[in-house]
Amino acid sequence: MYGQYGHKVLNYTLASGASLSDAIPVLGANQVMIEFATMTSGTNLKSATANAYIQVCNTSTGTFRRLVVAGQYSAGSGLKDWEVPQFSGNRIVMGPTATGNWAYMKVEMSISALTAGYSFAVHILQ
């Protein structure tokens, strides 16, 4: 259910050994923000820092692909993935506005969760 001003918060946990979240419904969102908890090496993740990416798809079971930032290019591939590079959590990060044009998104981490899992929240503004 959406709260005041169309703000909905969805809580997710990366399962033990996982580096990719379940499909998160975001269709029609004006803005998507990801609230990352503090990353603790040996407690919830295998490292205290990680890169985070957004993957999108039109179905919850289809092939998810990383979202690319339009107009930004890296020297190696010619395209630049949307990412939060080498951070340690404890941040709320705004995703690209294009995220809401897709039916579903997944959060991908460059390292996997430990037994305790890694929890984060997705804020959707309508």
Cβ–Cβ < 8 Å for 123, 99:
no
Please provide the DSSP assignment of 6-64 as one string: GEEEEEEEEPTT--BPPPEE-TT-SEEEEEEPPP-BTTTBSSS-EEEEEEEESSTTS--
Domain 4-125 has CATH 2.30.30: no
Q: What is the dihedral of CA 86, 91, 97, 100, to 10 degrees?
A: 100
Q: Tell me if the pTM is above 0.85.
A: no
pLDDT in tens, 19-70: 899 999 998 888 999 998 888 777 777 777 888 899 999 999 999 999 887 6
The structure tokens listed for 76 are 């190696």
pLDDT at 78 over 80: no
The domain locations on the chain are 4-125
